[in-house]
């Protein structure tokens, strides 16, 4: 989330961008527009407005002076979110063999490519003039039963910091890695950004990026595990996606990256799946629930994440509260929320996480070395905001 100066909104109006569109998507607080509003978190609104959003983006791009950079980025973020929402729903329909008129894997590929293109733009790696090319028409998907939104690791800065770290401290240090696997649904935006950034950043490497639907919190209704502990691979993606995954993973070293790790069930299941396909997995968490492990001896990350991040995890209750402000159209409440007033820095939080990790006594020396390397890298390179602490329950403990 970021602010859009009033001068940019005025410039957009002068360029002919409809005022109704500017009023609907940026949320206004204290005379300044925020990049996300209820339209961002209600994807059906975004789906209907996608042609107008893309037209507005093109209007800005056809100006040589690029007069509204913050507004332009907000338009791309909103388009990215709605294409990701539609692509994920189509992914689920094709995986679960839900009959949807006009939907096949070619359609899914086009939606994923659109999401990847928008991710490349957000990362600054898209070719100039790419917006002259059309994006897939979303009108045929207006009848989809459900659309989900994505938290994008709370900020594009965090997402790109993570991918930069993976390139320099994981992919470069493990040259045997040839594939990256990202579990859905929560990590979908991370997966699209990985598709856009990783192969381009290391063109000399054979490096494929795959998405799999695998999760045990948001996707708790899906019965992934057989009684013998193996994973039902037919549930992780549509047939052609599974075939590509199996071909690239067999006999390969695979990096599995999950955005938010609590109990570690998803990473353990992903490691099992990669093993079933004949590969070997190296697992990574982008956010880690260190407070959960430090207070609860029943749960640990040591056997789930080979490379656990020291970033604390953003609690889902805080995320829901912040989104709730915007869905109610209360941008002032969003701006004034205590989640934006954390006094410590992310680096201080990561140092605290490292102390908690040492206190667990379960992490191997190689895991601790990797965490120290991450902390050193973060101090030099990461400018992410701190993570709001988990809410405190009536017992005085942090919520799980």
Distance between CA 9 and CA 25 in Å, rounded? 12
How high is the pLDDT of residue 219? 61
Mean pLDDT, residues 5-9: 85
How high is the pLDDT of residue 372? 97
Same domain? 134 vs 161: no
* Contact predicate 116/196, CB 8 Å: yes
Same domain? 126 vs 181: no
Given a cut of 90, whether residue 392 has pLDDT beyond it is no
Indicate the residue among 141, 161, 186 that finishes a domain: 141
Distance between CA 110 and CA 125 in Å, rounded? 19
Same domain? 213 vs 137: no
Same domain? 160 vs 127: no
Q: Domain total for the chain?
A: 2
Same domain? 305 vs 332: yes
Same domain? 212 vs 339: yes
Domain interval for residue 251: 152-381
CATH value at residue 341: 3.40.50.2020
How high is the pLDDT of residue 64? 82
- Identify the H or E element spanning 13: helix 6-14
Tell me, yes or no, whether 317 lies in a domain: yes
- E strand segments, the chain: 3-4, 27-29, 32-34, 177-184, 208-213, 253-261, 280-288, 307-308
How high is the pLDDT of residue 90? 92
Same domain? 304 vs 172: yes
Same domain? 124 vs 225: no
Tokens (6 digits) for 202:
């290391």
Distance between CA 112 and CA 109 in Å, rounded? 5
Tell me, yes or no, whether 397 lies in a domain: no
Indicate the residue among 116, 141, 166 that finishes a domain: 141
**393 pLDDT band (50/70/90 cuts)?**
very low
Distance between CA 399 and CA 392 in Å, rounded? 6
Q: Say what the pTM is.
A: 0.91
- Tens of pLDDT, residue by residue over 92-147, are 989 988 776 668 899 999 999 999 999 999 999 999 899 999 999 999 888 776 77
Burial 157-169 (b: 16+ CB within 10 A, else e): ebbbbbbbbbbeb
Secondary structure string (H, E, C) spanning 28-83? EECCEEECCCHHHHCHHHHHHHHHHHHHHHHHHHCCCCCCCHHHHHHHHHHHHHHH
Tell me, yes or no, whether 393 lies in a domain: no
> Would you give the distance in Å from CA 312 to the centre of its chain?
16
Highest mean pLDDT among 63-67, 232-236, 338-342: 232-236
* Contact predicate 213/95, CB 8 Å: yes
- Tens of pLDDT, residue by residue over 195-209, are 999 999 999 999 999
Tell me, yes or no, whether 391 lies in a domain: no
Indicate the residue among 141, 170, 189 that finishes a domain: 141
Same domain? 117 vs 183: no
How high is the pLDDT of residue 336? 86
Distance between CA 72 and CA 280 in Å, rounded? 41
- Tens of pLDDT, residue by residue over 254-310, are 999 998 888 899 999 999 999 999 999 999 999 999 988 877 666 789 999 999 999
Same domain? 88 vs 61: yes
Given a cut of 80, whether residue 329 has pLDDT beyond it is no
How high is the pLDDT of residue 208? 96
How high is the pLDDT of residue 394? 37
**218 pLDDT band (50/70/90 cuts)?**
low
Supply the mean pLDDT for the chain: 88
**395 pLDDT band (50/70/90 cuts)?**
very low
How high is the pLDDT of residue 391? 59
Cis peptide bond upstream of 209, omega within 30: no
Tell me, yes or no, whether 386 lies in a domain: no
Name the least confident of 20-24, 279-283, 373-377, 382-386.
20-24
* Greater pLDDT, 205 or 399: 205
* Contact predicate 28/60, CB 8 Å: no
Distance between CA 247 and CA 289 in Å, rounded? 33
* Contact predicate 222/214, CB 8 Å: no
- In this structure, the dihedral spanned by the alpha carbons of residues 211, 217, 219 and 223, taken in order and rounded to 10 degrees, is 100
How high is the pLDDT of residue 261? 87
- Tens of pLDDT, residue by residue over 146-157, are 777 665 445 788
- pLDDT > 90 fraction of the chain, expressed in percent and rounded: 57
Q: Which residues, other chains included, contact 377 with Cβ-Cβ below 8 Å and sequence gap of 6+?
A: 165, 168, 169
Same domain? 280 vs 180: yes
- Tens of pLDDT, residue by residue over 153-178, are 457 888 999 999 999 999 999 999 99
Tell me, yes or no, whether 146 lies in a domain: no
């Amino acid at each position: 989330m970021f602010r859009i100066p009033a001068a940019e909104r005025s410039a957009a109006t002068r360029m002919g961008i409809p005022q109704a569109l500017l009023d609907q998507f940026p949320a206004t607080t204290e005379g300044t527009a925020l990049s996300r509003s209820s339209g961002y978190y209600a994807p059906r609104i975004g789906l209907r407005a996608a042609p107008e959003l893309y037209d507005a983006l093109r209007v800005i791009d056809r100006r040589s002076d690029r007069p509204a950079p913050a507004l332009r980025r907000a338009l791309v973020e909103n388009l990215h979110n709605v294409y990701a929402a539609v692509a994920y729903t189509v992914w689920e329909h094709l995986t679960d063999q839900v009959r949807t008129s006009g939907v096949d894997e070619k359609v899914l590929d086009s939606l994923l490519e659109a999401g990847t293109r928008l991710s490349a733009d957000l990362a600054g790696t898209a070719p100039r003039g790419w917006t002259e090319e059309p994006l897939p028409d979303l009108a045929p998907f207006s009848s989809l039963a459900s659309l989900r939104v994505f938290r994008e690791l709370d900020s594009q800065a965090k997402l790109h910091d993570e991918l930069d770290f993976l390139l320099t401290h994981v992919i470069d240090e493990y040259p045997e890695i040839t594939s990256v696997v990202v579990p859905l649904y929560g990590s979908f935006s991370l997966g699209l950004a990985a598709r856009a950034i990783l192969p381009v950043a290391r063109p000399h490497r054979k490096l494929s990026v795959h998405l799999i639907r695998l999760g045990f919190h948001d996707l708790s209704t899906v019965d992934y595990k057989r009684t013998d502990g193996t994973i039902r691979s037919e549930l992780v993606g549509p047939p052609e996606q599974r075939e590509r995954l199996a071909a690239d993973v067999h006999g390969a070293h695979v990096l599995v990256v999950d955005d938010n790790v609590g109990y570690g069930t998803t990473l353990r299941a992903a490691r099992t799946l990669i093993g079933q396909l004949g590969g070997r997995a190296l697992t990574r968490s982008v956010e880690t629930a260190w407070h959960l492990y430090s207070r609860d001896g029943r749960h640990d990350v040591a056997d789930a994440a080979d490379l656990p991040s020291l970033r604390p995890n953003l609690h889902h209750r805080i995320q829901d509260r912040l989104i709730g402000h915007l869905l109610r159209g209360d941008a002032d409440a969003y701006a004034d929320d205590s989640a934006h007033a954390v006094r410590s820095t992310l680096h201080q939080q990561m140092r605290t996480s490292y102390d908690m990790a040492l206190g667990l006594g379960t992490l191997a020396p190689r895991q601790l070395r990797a965490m120290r390397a991450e902390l050193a890298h973060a101090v030099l390179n990461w400018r992410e905001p701190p993570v709001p602490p988990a809410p405190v329950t009536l017992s005085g403990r942090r919520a799980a």
